[in-house]
Each structure stands twice: as structure tokens, then as C-alpha cells.
Amino acid sequence: MQPKYQHTLNNHYKWGWSDDPSNVDWYNKKGTHEAFHIGLGSVTRPHEGFRQECINAAKDMIDKSERPFIAAISGGSDSQVMYLSFMKAGANIKPAVIELGFRGKKVNKHDVEGAYEFCKAWGLTPEVTQLDLEEFCTGECVEYVKEHQIFNPRTAIQLHLAVKYGTKDYTMLMAGGDMVLEKIINSATQKFIPGLWVTNSPVPILQALIDREIPGTTKFFMYSPEMIHSYLDNQVVNGFRMCQEPMFDNYFNIQEGKKVFTGGIWTHYMKPMIYATNWPEMQIRPKYHGFEHLNGYIKDTRGLYRDMLGYIPGDYTVSIPVAPMIDHIANGEGAVKAFSDPWPEIRKANKPIRDKIRAEILEANEEDDLSNLEDIS
């Protein structure tokens, strides 16, 4: 399948399902296949630093788009950097903000306040969408689960915006694709697998844009190999790679049956330093996802969607060791390289342990406290 639009530069970032890694039908759906694969391009020139490569990516998209741009923003660092990149590149662009309601309460006000502060600082007037989350999750979102294998309500909300704005009027922008450098835990041994890894999961939101022929990207920070290289080739990353072993050993107390997100060090500490040093004009804010007051409802809803799908997307990931990945991106001379799960047998052996942890998480009772939230007027 060939996408109608470029969702990354020359569509260098690819994904697909196949039981034969040497013969992947890119941009297909899972079907009966049991293995997920991705493809990554490589640079054709030296990178110009992360800030400039963000602007270069925006310029390339501007040159190739016949429409104005609309960007989903939350006020977080990812959406700020993306939006500023297009502003610096001279784009005709406007911001889009989504306000979520749940049983008469404003549930993501704490998150979108940052978006409104960003708009005020830069003299922007956002397009505002108000969405009843419960109605959405039992209606439109169910259709996205069936059609596009989306099981995360957050992802489905992004698709709602893409369908609303990108179907005919705009080129849609979403600030995803920032690579997370993390440790991988062997669930059976409760030991870290050596090295740092970048894990790639199935990408139903971008697949939905391709299927619906909506122009734009949900993976801005993977738009070009040069941007990826600039993101990974800097002093922050080099220092992180040098200090990884004592940093992770001191930070994490790994226990059997305990879910550990090792990417938290990168997401909450390393990445903000990369962004802030390259984009000093951005506003520094805490990282939110908007559902902090609805963890119980979202957890239960994701469980229902997983049952509808019949599989768990997290069981089909491609973890790439950082060092060989950087080597390919920097020295691949423009070629695309396919990456597959490096240890399918270990992942298969660990599945009962992962299933046990998931079951315990799903069974745990999480109460959603809406008492202190503002009423929808």
C-alpha cells in the first residue's frame, strides 16, 4: 500500500505486519499476522542541530501542502516545539484545543490551561472543540476501535480532531514521534537487558490518516532522519548513555509483579533538557496527558477495547538497541532499514507474567475523584 500523502519525509518511517520479516507489506493491518515490523530511513546530509531540523521539517511540509495547517496543542513541550517550528518556518497555521467534559465536569482543564497560556503569549486564537468523553467513548470511539484497531481513548480523540479538520480543510499536525530511550526488563529474570532501547508500537492513528487520505503527520519528531539524528546526537543524550547503568540501578527497585516504566527518566528529565536548550522561548510546564482525574474510567475503557480487538497492541512491539539504530540513521546513506522484534522467544516466554501483571492492574479498583473539578457551565 502506498500512502497518498507524505506523512514523514519520503515516508521513510514505515510499519507493517508480516510473519516473514524479509517480506513486509508496509502500512497493512494485523489480520492473522503475529509479528510487527518498522522501517527507518537514514540521513542524506549532516544534521543542522535539533532546532534547525525541526524548522527544516516544517518548511518541507509547507512546500508540499496545498492547505493551511492546524496543530493539536495541549500546552506541553512537544506541541509547543512543533508549533514554534512552523511559526519560524512561516506557515499559515492555527492551533486546535480540545476541552473534555465528563459527567458535567471539566476534566482536562489543568492540561489545556497550558495551551491557552501558550496561545496568549504568542497572540494566537485557537479553534476549540468541546467533547463529552463518556458519550465519545461509547459511540464514535467504538467505531475507531473496530475500523482502525485503536484501543486508547487518547489516540481516538486525536483521530476525532484529524477527521474534523483534516478531511477537507487543513493539513493536520500532531506532536508525536519523540523517541523514548529506556531500559527493557526481562520479566522472567527481573533483570535489565543490557543497553538502551527505543520501543516502537503499532501506529493506528497514523494508519488511520493513510486509510482516510488525511494529509499531515502524527509523528512530527520522526519526520526526517536528519531530525531524528539531531535529537539523538547531542550532549544530553551522550551523557545519558554514559551514565545509564548506575542511573537506572539507583532509580528503580525492580520487583516481580510490579509494572515499571523505565522511560520515565527520559520523558520527565532528559527530553525536557533537549527541548529547553534548543527552544528557550518555550514555556516550561509539568507533563500531563489530560486524564489524570479519570484513571479508573480510562483503564476500564481500555480493557473493554482490548477485548474487542482480541489482542493487546503492547504485545507486538519492536525494541531497537539505540547504538545500532543511531549508526544506521547516521551512516545508512539514505537507505531504509527494516527492524523486527529482536527477541520474540523471550517476549513469548514472558507473556504469562505480563498477562498476570495486566490482570492485577485491571482488577485493582481506582476511584475517579471529580469532586474538586469545575462544572461545565
**pLDDT by residue (tens digit) across 296-319?**
899 889 888 988 988 877 778 899
pLDDT in tens, 129-181: 999 999 999 999 999 999 998 988 999 999 999 999 988 899 999 999 999 99
CA distance 131 to 185: 38
**Sheet-wide strand order for 318-321:** 181-186, 191-200, 318-321
Q: Please, which residues have CB within 8 angstroms of residue 50's CB and are 6 or more apart in sequence?
A: 227, 230, 231, 234, 274, 278
Scored b (16 or more CB within 10 A) or e, 124-133 reads: bebbebebeb
Distances (CA, A) of 301 to 154, 260, 361: 11, 22, 13
pLDDT above 60 for 255: no
Cα distance between residue 16 and residue 203, in whole Å: 9
Bridge partners (DSSP) of residue 8 are: none
Say if strands 36-40 and 14-17 run parallel, antiparallel, or are unpaired: antiparallel
Indicate whether 343 pLDDT > 50: yes
Weakest mean pLDDT among 56-70, 80-94, 174-188 = 174-188
C-alpha 160/C-alpha 153 separation (Å) is: 10
Q: Are 174 and 217 in contact (CB under 8 A)?
A: yes
pLDDT at position 357: 63
pLDDT category at 84 given cuts 50, 70, 90 is very high
pLDDT digits (tens, 9 = 90+) for 211-231: 999 999 999 999 999 999 999
At 257, the pLDDT band (50, 70, 90 cuts) reads very low
Contact 146, 308 (CB under 8 A): yes
- 3 state SS of 263: coil
Q: What is the mean pLDDT of residues 16-40?
A: 90
Confidence of residue 258 (pLDDT cuts 50, 70, 90): low
Q: Per DSSP, which regions of 187-244 are E strands?
A: 191-200, 216-217
Query: What are the boundaries of each domain within the chain?
Result: 9-363
Mean pLDDT for the stretch of residues 82-106: 96
Q: Looking at the predicted structure, is the pLDDT value of residue 22 above 50?
A: yes
**Of all residues in the chain, what percent carry a pLDDT higher than 70?**
93
* Count of other CB atoms within 10 angstroms of residue 363: 8
Whole-prediction pTM? 0.93
Provide the terminal-to-terminal Cα distance of the chain, rounded to the nearest Å: 47
Contact 226, 212 (CB under 8 A): no
**What's the confidence (pLDDT) of residue 377?**
79
Of the given ranges (150-154, 357-361, 367-371), which has the lowest mean pLDDT?
Answer: 357-361
- Parallel/antiparallel/unpaired status of strands 69-72 and 171-173: parallel
Q: Which residues contact 28 (CB under 8 A, 6 or more apart)?
A: 1, 16, 17, 18
Mean pLDDT of the chain: 90
- Within 10 A of 134 (CB to CB), how many other CB atoms are there? 14
